[in-house]
Amino acid sequence: MEFSGGSRLDPYVDRYAERTHGMTTSEIRALFAVANRPEIISMGGGSPFVSALPLDAIGEMTAKIVAERGAQALQYMGGQGDPRLRELICGVMALEGISASPDDVVVTVGSQQALDVVSRIFLDPGDVVIAEAPSYVGALGTFTQYQADVVHVQMDDAGLVPEALRAAIAQVAASGRRAKFLYTVPNYHNPAGITLVEERRDEIIAICAEANLLILEDNPYGLLGFDGPPLPALRARATEGVIYLGSFSKTFASGVRVGWAVAPPGVKEKLVMASEATTLCPVALSQYVVAEFLAHHPWQEQVKVYRELYRARRDACLDALAASFPTGSSWTHPAGGFYVWVTLPEGVDAKAMLPRAIQGRVAYVPGTGFYADGQGRRNLRLSYSLPDPERVREGVRRLAAVLDEEFEIVSTFGAGALDA
């Protein structure tokens, strides 16, 4: 018998759980394979530029941890994570106005695991998650695996629109379904590159409190703003009703897989039990490395290095878009983080175009993956975090050339010619 990677000949097909029916290969996943080919400029994955880290110093530091504290650093530990790291995390969060105790913190295997365990303890099949339109593809994938429905809420340049949030809550209630939380990335949104302005933050919190709706605040990029000090987190303005997710993937390194959740005590206990069932405990070695880096290296200087580096890449991206993209396209102007969200001219399908873009040696993530409801065909996400400014510029130029060809095809053969 022969298997071809699909499930057509899969003898187990009638035995899978119901939840697998929503499992589809994500665009980001398919891109990982392609992005590694050196001739392609990948503006796909949201990868930090870890080469900017002091790798020799981190290597030495890690060697010392293993040699001197290997008995702990290479061993299991408690499911809530290293107490010392949890204390240091409270110091990191203080920069965004959050006051929390190490007891409130659960260390996770990247904030993706935090998303998973929050979903696990709150979501029954058919429950609703309210999320920005568009929203982080990895979160949508997790909500789908828990068989929840996502209801999107419109953003404008100032972030989540309060009136649209009110309407979505009312609509879910009217349909007899149950919204369990609002999932939001308030700072330098993935994929939209938009930030929720300070004036709206209290209003969003008030709307959710009134509706008895938990807020799941996902904030991996908060310290990576280009224009002044970070905004106070939602969790800084409301200790009740907010579960906060943080990550070292963008401010330090994604390959150690260290993120965290902050939650009220009852929720926290359940998060720990859920993550124990998932991975037993977070990674001891990684936690020791991050704690050591926070405690004994000028880590805020490192964040500043990252910030300046990403600012230059953002500038390169926006300049190149303005110089080369066709009339009828538009894009967001991120004040931090990794992403520009592009809307293509009428008639162009970003997903159908991707294979031709890759042929043109540039990669991006098509917009549809960031919606649970089929929107986003004219959208794409560009990440400027990994390639240097010159490569960012070249990538955008290549993409503009691919777009020009799309228009040529349309003008010659009609719009239908572009379908995948």
Which residues in the 49-88 window bind a copy of itself by CB under 8 A?
Answer: 50-51, 53, 55-56, 58-60, 62-67, 70-79
Among the listed residues 162, 171, 177, 276, the single contact to a copy of itself using CB under 8 A: 276
Q: Closer to a copy of itself at the Cβ: 255 or 326? A: 255
Q: Is 29 helix (H, G, I), strand (E, B) or coil?
A: helix
At a CB cut-off of 8 Å and minimum separation 6, what does 378 contact?
Answer: 343, 344, 345, 346, 348, 349, 350, 367
* Interface of this chain with a copy of itself, residues 283 to 312, rule: CB under 8 A: 283-286, 289
3 part of the interface to a copy of itself, by CB under 8 A:
yes
Among the listed residues 34, 84, 102, 121, the single contact to a copy of itself using CB under 8 A: 121
314 part of the interface to a copy of itself, by CB under 8 A:
no
Question: Which H or E run contains 340?
Answer: strand 339-343
CA distance 331 to 74: 46
150 part of the interface to a copy of itself, by CB under 8 A:
no
Cis-peptide into 232, omega within 30 deg: no
CB of 340 to a copy of itself, least distance (A): 20
Among the listed residues 167, 280, 322, 417, the single contact to a copy of itself using CB under 8 A: 280
Q: Closer to a copy of itself at the Cβ: 26 or 329? A: 26
Q: Is 152 helix (H, G, I), strand (E, B) or coil?
A: strand
CB of 376 to a copy of itself, least distance (A): 20
Among the listed residues 171, 177, 203, 269, the single contact to a copy of itself using CB under 8 A: 269
Nearest to 370, CA basis, from 157, 134, 159, 212: 134
Cis-peptide into 355, omega within 30 deg: no
What is the CA angle 107-25-125, rounded to 5? 65
Among the listed residues 165, 204, 205, 214, the single contact to a copy of itself using CB under 8 A: 214
What is the CA angle 242-148-212, rounded to 5? 35
Among the listed residues 138, 334, 367, 389, the single contact to a copy of itself using CB under 8 A: 138
Q: List, in sequence order, every beta strand (DSSP E) within 179-312.
A: 179-184, 214-218, 242-247, 259-262
Of the candidate spans 90-98, 194-202, 256-264, 313-321, the one that interacts with a copy of itself by CB under 8 A turns out to be 256-264
145 part of the interface to a copy of itself, by CB under 8 A:
yes
